[in-house]
């Protein structure tokens, strides 16, 4: 009898453990590259055709004040990987992601019982680093940062189109020109990324939940949609770039095809946007296929699906191109969450929330969904708490920054609560203040006309930067800096030499931004 009770106890324990594992939702994390927040229909842009992502927003929640704290590829991805703020993960501008961090999204989810897989652009170093993934299939946009590296997409391309050139369209990674993709659309990296994700979901039969990161390399330039998608925008009302009362110094500035600043005319910017939007529609179609596959597989109801981007794209706003700027086109990103049916919350599907969120919030959100504890020293917050109860206490504002890129004066730190944005330029001591509610295009700088608000936010910046020491705040005042700090003291110590770090800084400083 005693042995029978022991056996029953063990069976119950196994059943309870299995039930607990079964309650963990699958997590599908979809991230695009360089997609500004307003480049979606669900974000109010009537020109953008994005029905599948819009449907995701209708069945979930959209966080309209979402940001990328260091708006360029690698530091944004460091924050995403670690759930930490820039100062705490250590990357204050464009450089190389560390080989290992205290907190890493794929590793922590793997330890929580997930099968973890990454598809598409990772932008890590080494380029096939796993950080806890069971496996990755990567598309690095032709980037080669180590001897002998060939991305999985490029090898696949050779199999599908022997002898063809994947770069036949002839537009570089950071150009503001646009053109039509010159090969069959099923050879495009957006197709490969989406279709590879579909195949993995179709083949997934594990007795554990799935964490799948699907990372598209577009709409980042080249702006190269297949003709079918560009045709959808033939008569679309493409919005013109924002211009303001503070950007006259850039008016008429000439530049080359990769210029970070330049006045190339409104029509040129509109054509770039037309192609950029068409690339988003291509991605949207692949997102629809991924969601349909989840439904066909019977996984959709028990899946947390999140959609975001690493940073935005100025697309000619204020004569600025690309990213690394504090302005909305560069730093404001999509942030959509569709929660699993098992999550009981008070938030109605289709809600738009104004709570300020950031890339660092995804890792704690995923840990929360997995039933894991969120470390006390992780800077990010779980947005599932807002879905459970929108009245939950939340941060008052978020910090943004970027080390010097493209020009000496483009070295800044900013704070925003979604209504006000304050920007402090380290090298020049210049300040800018914008009311994002009345002026979403940041056309009117209020720094000289609203003394009360500027003093309020200046003090917040003092408080924010104080932990960095007298190189940033001295005697309660902000300090102008003559030198750029690219890596904070919290950057993980690894096997990279100081010369490598200096090389990274020089690449970033000269604007040789290969992301």
* DSSP label of 313: -
Catalytic residue among 88, 89, 123, 131: 123
For residue 304, what is the enclosing H or E element? strand 303-309
CB–CB of 294/256 below 8 Å?
Answer: no
Alpha-carbon span 258 to 247, nearest angstrom = 20
Of the candidates 73, 89, 320, 413, the residue annotated as catalytic is 73
Alpha-carbon gap, residue 303 to 483, rounded angstroms: 46
Sign of CA dihedral 39, 295, 200, 169: negative
In the residue annotation, 42 being an active-site residue is answered as no
Residue 114 neighbours by CB under 8 Å, 6+ apart: 24, 27, 208, 209, 210, 211, 370
CA distances from 22 to 294, 297, 303, 332, 343 (A): 16, 16, 12, 36, 14
Q: From CA 420, how far away is CA 417, in angstroms rounded?
A: 6
Strand order in the sheet with 210-219: 135-138, 115-120, 210-219, 26-33, 303-309, 335-338, 61-63, 351-353
How is residue 308 annotated by DSSP? E
Token match 């483009």: residue?
410
Select from 37, 41, 44, 38 the least CA-distant residue to 52. Answer: 41
- Residues 324, 406: contact at Cβ < 8 Å? yes
The residues near 16 (Cβ < 8 Å, ≥ 6 apart) are: none
DSSP 364-431: HHHHHHTTPPPPTT-----THHHHH-TTS---S-EEEEE--BSBTT--EEEEE-SSEEEEEETTT--E
Question: How far, in Å, CA of 126 to CA of 85, rounded?
Answer: 23
Give the Cα separation of 253 and 255 in Å (integer): 7
Continuous H helices in 33-188? 51-59, 73-82, 86-89, 105-111, 152-160
Q: Quote the CA–CA distance of 420 and 422 in Å, as a whole number.
A: 7
Indicate which residues carry an active-site annotation: 73, 123
């Amino acid at each position: 009898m005693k042995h029978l009770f022991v056996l029953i106890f063990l069976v119950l324990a196994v059943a309870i453990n299995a039930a607990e594992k079964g309650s963990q939702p699958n997590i599908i994390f979809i991230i695009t590259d360089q997609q500004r927040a307003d480049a979606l229909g669900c974000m109010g842009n009537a020109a953008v055709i994005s029905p599948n992502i819009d449907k995701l927003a209708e069945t979930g929640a959209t966080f309209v004040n979402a940001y990328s704290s260091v708006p360029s590829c690698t530091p944004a991805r460091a924050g995403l990987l670690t759930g930490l703020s820039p100062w705490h993960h250590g990357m204050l501008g464009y450089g190389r992601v560390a080989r290992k961090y205290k907190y890493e999204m794929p590793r922590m989810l793997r330890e929580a019982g997930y099968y973890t897989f990454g598809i598409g652009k990772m932008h890590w170093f080494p380029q096939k680093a796993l950080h806890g993934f069971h496996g990755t299939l990567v598309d690095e946009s032709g980037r080669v940062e180590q001897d002998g590296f060939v991305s999985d997409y490029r090898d696949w391309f050779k199999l599908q189109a022997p002898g063809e050139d994947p770069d036949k369209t002839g537009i570089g990674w950071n150009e503001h020109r646009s053109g039509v993709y010159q090969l069959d659309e099923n050879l495009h990296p957006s197709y490969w990324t989406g279709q590879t994700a579909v195949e993995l979901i179709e083949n997934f039969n594990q007795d554990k939940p799935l964490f799948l990161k699907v990372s598209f390399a577009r709409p980042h330039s080249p702006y190269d949609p297949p003709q079918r998608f560009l045709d959808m925008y033939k008569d679309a009302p493409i919005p013109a770039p924002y211009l303001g009362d503070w950007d006259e110094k850039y008016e008429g500035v000439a530049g080359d095809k990769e210029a970070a600043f330049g006045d190339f005319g409104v029509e040129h910017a509109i054509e770039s946007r037309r192609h950029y939007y068409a690339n988003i529609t291509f991605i949207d179609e692949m997102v629809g296929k991924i969601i349909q596959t989840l439904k066909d597989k019977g996984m959709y109801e028990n899946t947390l699906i999140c959609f975001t981007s690493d940073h935005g794209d100025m697309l000619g706003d204020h004569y600025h191109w690309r990213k690394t700027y504090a302005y909305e086109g560069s730093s404001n990103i999509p942030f959509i969450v569709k929660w699993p049916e098992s999550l009981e919350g008070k938030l109605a599907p289709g809600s738009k929330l104004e709570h300020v969120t950031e890339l660092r919030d995804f890792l704690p959100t995923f840990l929360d969904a997995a039933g894991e504890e969120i470390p006390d020293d992780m800077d990010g917050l779980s947005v599932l708490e807002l879905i459970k109860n929108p009245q939950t206490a939340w941060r008052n504002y978020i910090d943004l920054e970027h080390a010097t890129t493209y020009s000496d004066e483009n070295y800044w730190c900013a704070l925003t609560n979604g209504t006000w944005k304050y920007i402090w330029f380290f090298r020049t001591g210049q300040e800018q203040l914008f009311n994002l509610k009345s002026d979403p295009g940041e056309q009117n700088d209020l720094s000289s006309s609203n003394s009360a608000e500027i003093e309020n936010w200046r003090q917040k910046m003092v408080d924010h930067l104080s932990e960095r020491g007298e190189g940033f705040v001295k005697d309660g005042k902000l300090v102008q800096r003559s030198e750029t700090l690219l890596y904070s003291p919290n950057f993980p110590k690894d096997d990279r030499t100081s010369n490598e770090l200096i090389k990274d800084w020089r690449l970033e400083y000269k604007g040789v931004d290969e992301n």
